[in-house]
Amino acid sequence: MPMIEVTAPAGAIAPDAREELLDQLAGRLLHWEGAPDTEFFREISWVYFNELPADGLYVGGRPGGAPRVRVEITTPEGALSQRRRAGLVADVHAAVSRAAGISPEDGLHVWVLCREIAEGSWGAGGAIVEFEQLRAASKAERERTGEPAPA
């Protein structure tokens, strides 16, 4: 049940690049969580795109400057090991940089914030969702689709 929230100034990511980027981000998050990339898991993986007014970003408290993009990723506690989190951050950074045309020397213009929601603190459908339920759902989806378990 991950969530991704991308925040960027208007025009930083062209509309045609945005569609591909948001789809790619969801896929990479499922990959690094070890969840199968199926319609079931896509349906519970939400991606928000927040576009600020072009003058809505201040750098060092001052208006102007090259666009910056913030990506906040929220997952249940335990969904990502440190190794998986590092892989996810690298993939997200690369995808956002490509979509926004941010050069490697401006790499600090993309920030990826990973947040974990403590067990027992994520609810859906009027009930608490426990991480073991998600693991069981992932296993069931893999068995149903024949997709191999992640390494």
Q: For the segment 5-32, what is each residue's pLDDT rounded down to a tens digit?
A: 999 999 999 999 999 999 999 999 999 9
Question: What pLDDT does residue 112 have?
Answer: 98
Rounded mean pLDDT, 138-144? 77
Amino acid identity, residue 30?
L
Question: What pLDDT does residue 147 have?
Answer: 74
**Domains observed in the chain:** 3-145 (3.30.429.10)
Question: What pLDDT does residue 151 have?
Answer: 63
Q: For the segment 51-101, what is each residue's pLDDT rounded down to a tens digit?
A: 999 899 999 999 878 889 999 999 999 899 999 999 999 999 999 999 999
Whole-angstrom Cα distance, residue 131 to residue 122?
Answer: 9
Q: Which residues pair with 62 in a beta bridge?
A: 59
| Angle, in degrees to the nearest 10, between helices 15-33 and 82-100 | 170
Q: For the segment 111-121, what is each residue's pLDDT rounded down to a tens digit?
A: 999 999 998 88
Rounded mean pLDDT, 33-37? 90
Whole-angstrom Cα distance, residue 103 to residue 93?
Answer: 11
- pLDDT category at 139 given cuts 50, 70, 90 is confident
| Opening angle at CA 151, ends 19 and 40, nearest 5 | 45
